[in-house]
Amino acid sequence: MKVAIRCLALACAALAAPAAAQDQRPAPTAAWAPKPVATPPYPAGLMPWVKVADIKARHKEPNWRERIVDDGRLTGEYESAAPGTKVEKRFHPDTREWFAVVEGQVRVEIEGQPPFTATRGSLVDIPRQTIYSLQTIGDAPSLRFIVNVARAKTLFPRDAADTAPPAAAPPPGMAWVPVTLNRTPAQYDQFNQPHINIHEAAAKSDRYSGGRFVRDDKSEMLIIYGYEKNLPPLDPADKGHFHPESAEFWLVFAGRIRYAFDGQQPFVAGEGDVVYVPAGTWHATRFTGEEPACRLSITEYVGNTLLLEPRK
């Protein structure tokens, strides 16, 4: 009898599970939210729209690096490297680094993974405490957009007998010192994979729309891929949404993206351009043009809240 009662209880629990799971789904909720009366200012040195053509025009040599975004939480910077240029073995002790290949070819070696070549449209994700190295290959420079948290540190592995510090200069005000640490390379999971190429993914399926590629306790990045023809007609009055806590920035990774920000005229950014909006600012984004388009949405908080205007 006790066995029968236990079986009945388990069956009831199993039947109740789907209902419980449904209760966890997002529910439309009306609320009051604080919104700055004046359009939030941009942090010093940041701009709404930075064109990749203007960035490249500032540099005459093939090897250069320029930081485009640094708001005290996340950084985004471009790095160009001539063929044959190497990024020697290194790792980040507490942060994840990921990068997007905008031009050229990069040979990538990540601890625990088979080597691969990243090309235009590739995204590469390197977890914390994971050793990696890179080399630009082919006959053209590579151009990468690299994202990490602000003030992220870089460590260089050494042999026990090493007495010479790394060739790379230490950060300002610091010096290289020998250390040991108990290191465990972070694991990949469903939201963090070593490599994907959006053009190859789109070629395999006409339904490809992107998805999460980076997600951890410090940041999140979404691949958003599609066509304007699959969107509703443009509504110039649509404000889009704003985030109460998180700024957002984008790398236009393919095609063209239309941006409409609170207090600014709408503009269309092209492949390689970097766009930024502070927290608390209305922004509407959409694919534009006949060709496929892709933007990488980068935010400080995982699953950050979107606040929308009430429907009339």
Q: Would 75 be classed as within a structural domain? A: yes
Residue 247 has pLDDT above 70, yes or no: yes
Is residue 122 located within the same domain as residue 67? Answer: yes
Is residue 214 located within the same domain as residue 125? Answer: no
Is residue 246 located within the same domain as residue 145? Answer: no
Q: Would 167 be classed as within a structural domain? A: no
Q: Would 242 be classed as within a structural domain? A: yes
Q: Would 174 be classed as within a structural domain? A: no
Is residue 263 located within the same domain as residue 201? Answer: yes
Q: Which domain holds residue 213?
A: 195-307
Task: Write down the pLDDT at residue 7.
Answer: 42
The model's pTM is 0.90
Residue 16 has pLDDT above 80, yes or no: no
Q: How confident is the model at residue 4 (pLDDT cuts 50, 70, 90)?
A: very low
Q: Would 126 be classed as within a structural domain? A: yes
Is residue 110 located within the same domain as residue 203? Answer: no
Is residue 135 located within the same domain as residue 211? Answer: no
Is residue 83 located within the same domain as residue 138? Answer: yes
CATH of the domain at 263: 2.60.120.10
> How many domains is the chain built from?
2
Of 99 and 26, more confident: 99
Residue 293 has pLDDT above 50, yes or no: yes
Output b/e per residue, 128-162; b: 16+ Cβ within 10 A: bbbbbebbbbeeebbbbbbbbbeebeebeebeeee
Q: Would 270 be classed as within a structural domain? A: yes
Q: How confident is the model at residue 167 (pLDDT cuts 50, 70, 90)?
A: confident
Q: Would 26 be classed as within a structural domain? A: no
Q: Which of 83, 117, 149 is the last residue of a domain?
A: 149
Is residue 212 located within the same domain as residue 283? Answer: yes
Task: Write down the pLDDT at residue 12.
Answer: 44
Task: Write down the pLDDT at residue 23.
Answer: 60
Task: Write down the pLDDT at residue 272.
Answer: 98
Q: What is the tens place of the pLDDT at every residue in 53-91?
A: 999 999 999 999 999 999 999 999 999 999 999 999 999
Q: Which of 149, 179, 207 is the last residue of a domain?
A: 149
Q: Which of 88, 122, 149 is the last residue of a domain?
A: 149
Q: Would 20 be classed as within a structural domain? A: no
Q: What is the tens place of the pLDDT at every residue in 118-128?
A: 999 999 999 99
